[in-house]
Amino acid sequence: MSHVKQKMGAEWDERLAPAVTAMYTTAKGAAGSTGEAALQAWSSQVEPILRAAKMRALGAPKEASAEAKVITQKEDKEGVITLYTLRNTKGMEVRLCDYGAAITAIVLPDACDVVLASESPEDLRKNSCFLGVLVGRQAARTGGAQFHIDGVHHKVTVNDNGRNHLHGGATGLHNATFAGSCGIDSGQAFVDFAYTSPDGEDGYPGEMKIVARYTLTNDNKIVLSIAAECTKACPVNFTNHSYFNLNGHKSGDVSDHIVRIFASKYVEVDNELIATGKLLGVSGGRSDNPLFGSIPAPHVFDFRKPTKLGPRLQAKEISGNKVVQISRIVPVYFIFVIHVHASHDFCIRQ
């Protein structure tokens, strides 16, 4: 008891000793019987106090804190890439790379990595599917690889179908090496990636300074904030191009995923997947039934309610005199991933 008393100090004098005395008295009164009263007294009075006193004596475990750091640098014949890791208080981890400002892993607290990506320098430099990278200046396709802005015609690089411009062009942000820095802001881990795109890069006008910040919040959200300044009028439409499989990227396809998208319209595209500029509604869908012809059916792009993805990947939608199919918008290999765009069209002017 003297050893315990030294450890517990006032805890013993004020709480533990009276409880032990009470237990002893109860046990003495129960002598000759089953002794159940003594066991109950021990369980209800003494054990909780001992546990609490032990925690005070040894020190309670510290609450986890967010972390942001450089984890490694990798080199190939074309140079060095730097990898960063962000970790929050819940145990979620995000890994990123300065080449393409790319997300290379999103590891959930259950140790499941939910994005398709690589941390190999060789793979990152040959990333024809834009896995995890920041794309721009202009995401998606630009028909004929040209545009007009403020009455000026601009021709940008061709890197799609022999005539169109895709995701910022042949160079693009996905091939840029960003200057990275990481830290903690308001208790949350972040990494900043900065890059200056020179005037005329991929045919775009003006020198553009870009800063992208990835923040991992302590409630398991990834927030991407992008700021840009340009010396000339220039269209901008950035996005991160990650591919997701919420069961883990090695688990198979995403047919069983339940998807909800809060959108009542979608952008029409032509046969080359170039946006026409028309916004079409997702209400009043119809499908082509082999027995009954055109019949009412949920629109293939109507995900306003939680919807299983698998059947929609195979569905066809009759829109005017055209047939719309997700597999035309989402190529076959996207069956293994969910392709998420979260971007807006802007034009930067001085």
Omega before residue 312 within 30° of 0, cis: no
**Distance from C-alpha of 55 to C-alpha of 57, rounded to nearest angstrom:** 5
Separation of CA 275 from chain center: 26
Residue written as token pair 């990506």:
117
pLDDT tens, per residue, the chain with 350 residues: 444 445 455 554 565 556 656 655 655 555 444 556 655 665 566 666 666 665 555 554 455 788 988 988 888 778 889 999 999 999 999 999 999 999 999 999 877 899 988 888 888 888 889 999 999 999 999 999 999 999 999 999 999 999 999 999 999 999 999 999 999 999 999 999 999 999 999 999 999 999 999 999 999 999 999 999 999 999 999 999 999 888 887 788 888 889 888 888 888 888 898 988 888 888 876 555 454 455 566 788 888 999 998 888 777 654 554 555 554 444 322 322 333 333 334 555 54
Nearest in space to 173 (alpha carbons), one of 236, 118, 245: 236
Is 0.85 topped by the overall pTM? no
- Residue 86: helix, strand or coil by DSSP? strand
CATH code at 67-248+342-348: 2.70.98.10
